[in-house]
Chains A and B, each alone.
Chain A
Amino acid sequence: MATEFSRVEIMSGMDKVANFTEKLGHADCVKQLMKRGVSGVTIYNNVVGCGIQHGLSEVEYELSPENLAIQLLPKSVVTFICESAKVDELIEYLKLELYTGHIGDGKIFVSDVRNVIRVRTGEEGRDALKASVID
């Protein structure tokens, strides 16, 4: 059964996420996200990880892809919760924002969210993501 909300997580290099975070400081970027049903963002910094390239740089991977030693690189994770109906639109927007064509552009993970609860007011679902009506 399709859920009403989706979690969109971007896992990418810290530099790339820092660029994206900088854009969040601009009203235009925030407007674009809000238009796509995003009302907040959570960023996990200072995590480490690697992908299929085992942490090799683009050049190293291209020249010696058989190198299997894993090198963990500084990464960040950006999490958005949005309405499932708008998730495709959000992903298209994020893809364009993150794309450079180089290895390290990151991955976007999409998963279902069963419910959202605002602890302070007890509001659930869609209400918990909007400005509270109780206030």
Chain B
Amino acid sequence: MEKKIGIFGAVSTGVGMLIATSCFISSASGASAVGTPFVIAIVIACIANMMAVLSIAELNAIMPNLTGGIAQYTLAGMGPLITIVTMVGGYLISNVFAAPAEGAMFANVMAEIAGDSISPAVFSVGITIILIIVNLMGVNMSTLLQEIVASFMVLSLIVLSVVGAVGIGSGVQVEQAAVISSDLADVLPLTATAFWFFIGAEFIVPLAKDMKNPRKNVPLSMVLSLLIMGIIQIIMVFGFKNYTMWSDLGAAASPHVLYAVAMMGKWGRYWMIIVAIFAAVSTQNSIICSVSEICCGMAKMELLPAFFQKKNSKGAPYYVILILGLLTILIEASGISTGEQVSFLTLTCSLFWMLSYITSHMNVIILRRKMEKVPRSFKTPFYPVFQIVGIILQVYMMFNISNDPVQRLHIYELCFVLFLGLFIYALFWVKYRLRMPLLKGCGVLQVMVQENPLYHEIKKHNADVEC
């Protein structure tokens, strides 16, 4: 079959995956705290995540065409206990926080139109229910539709940032100091805030089997996607400086609407409504699809109970969709709407994601030692510099997850409870159900064999015969 996705297609998909309207909360929060020096934090976060995707690209080179992604790399490198704790946390729980964050952004925009008569939660819960039903019916957004939505989002972000930074919007520019604080002690902790712009580039990896020259294009497209996103966000900070007062920006529940209206008047508002609808549908739908796939993959590897891969007559993994949907609705119904509340969700999600990136770096180090001679079509340059620096940067961001000590404490408390729960589940599951060594890597071959559906059929058959 002819491979169709070239570097351009891969990069546009990558940038599309990185973009979400909740990014505006992060950029507004960071920019309103220190002004234009926030770009330093953006650059550092971008570099940290480039290091992470390079490690993921190397792991993909050792174990190509796996569906479970980082979960399978971790199983091979660090064993089932850490895989369950970091992957269920890193991808499943973090997405449980990411989905309502996007729903809240959508709800805020809609609530501004509807006025106070309807609670914002009605919009976010409503859209989630629609997406749950659509996914349960087995209807997937076509690739073309996803590309159109992603292109619209990318284009919107580029136009918004460039028009604002150059100062050619129809609105009135504001007079304010570009720099609120240039003290590195204020700027550097904001790398954790900027981290949110750059998560998700690794979802390019599953496209590898349909890409032209994947050995070169997988790492290149991930790095280029991050670079493009970084440049757009840097330009956006200068746009904010020209059209919105820093204080208003920090306090806004929908900073993108504030900025667009200040720059383009009522047309900016209409534009943002379309962006909000597209973004909410596209992001929440992508989350439901990708999390379902990861859950099925992990259940296939027996890291999660088997019911996670049960599918209905339409081929939809209904348990995962319902669990994820209900958790999302639960958080949305709690009434999150302010920028601070959305920021809490995105930062909590970021913390889990940072942990999964640390795991990826460690997997590379472990597999370089364990399987030194395995051919790798892509090797991270300057090994182990990127891995060590990458881990240090991610740990630094985890320790500075929020500038607000109260919010930081709440994030840590929530993460501690969730990780403790996951650890206890993983401990019992691995010890008594899987009966595997807790911390010993499974080996690449075993992980790759488990991809084959025949493996599970034969294993089940053998078990039945033994019984």
Contacts and interface: CB of A to CB of B under 8 A. Distances in A.
A2 interface: no
Interface stretch (A4-12, A32-40, A81-89, A94-102): A94-102
A62 B443 CA distance: 12
Contacts of B377: 96, 99
B449 interface: yes
B59 to A, nearest CB: 11
Contacts of B454: 57, 59
B449 A59 contact: yes
B115 interface: no
A100 B209 CA distance: 12
A100 B215 CA distance: 12
Residue among B215, B375, B455 facing the most chain A CB atoms (10 A cut-off): B375
Interface of A: prevailing SS: helix
A103 interface: yes
A58 to B, nearest CB: 5
Contacts of B376: 96
Nearest to A102: B448
B445 A103 contact: yes
**Interface range, A side:** 10 to 19
Given A58-B452, A101-B64, A63 B375 contact: no
Contacts of B462: 63-64
A35 to B, nearest CB: 17
**Interface range, B side:** 20 to 34
Contacts of A62: 445-446, 449, 455
A60 interface: yes
Contacts of B64: 100-101
B449 A99 contact: no
Interface string A81-120: 0000000000010011011111100000000000000000
Given A95-B375, A96-B375, A58 B449 contact: yes
Interface of A: 57-60, 62-64, 92, 95-96, 98-103
Q: Which 5 A-B pairs have the closest CB atoms?
A: A95-B375, A99-B375, A62-B449, A59-B455, A59-B454
Given A63-B455, A95-B375, A99-B374, 15 more contacts: A59-B455, A62-B446, A63-B458, A63-B459, A92-B375, A96-B376, A96-B377, A100-B64, A101-B62, A101-B64, A101-B374, A101-B445, A101-B448, A102-B445, A103-B445
24 contacts: A57-B454, A58-B445, A58-B448, A58-B452, A59-B452, A59-B458, A62-B446, A62-B449, A62-B455, A63-B455, A63-B459, A63-B462, A92-B375, A95-B375, A96-B215, A96-B375, A96-B376, A98-B375, A99-B377, A100-B65, A101-B63, A101-B445, A102-B448, A103-B445
Interface of B: 62-65, 215, 374-377, 444-446, 448-449, 452, 454-455, 458-459, 462
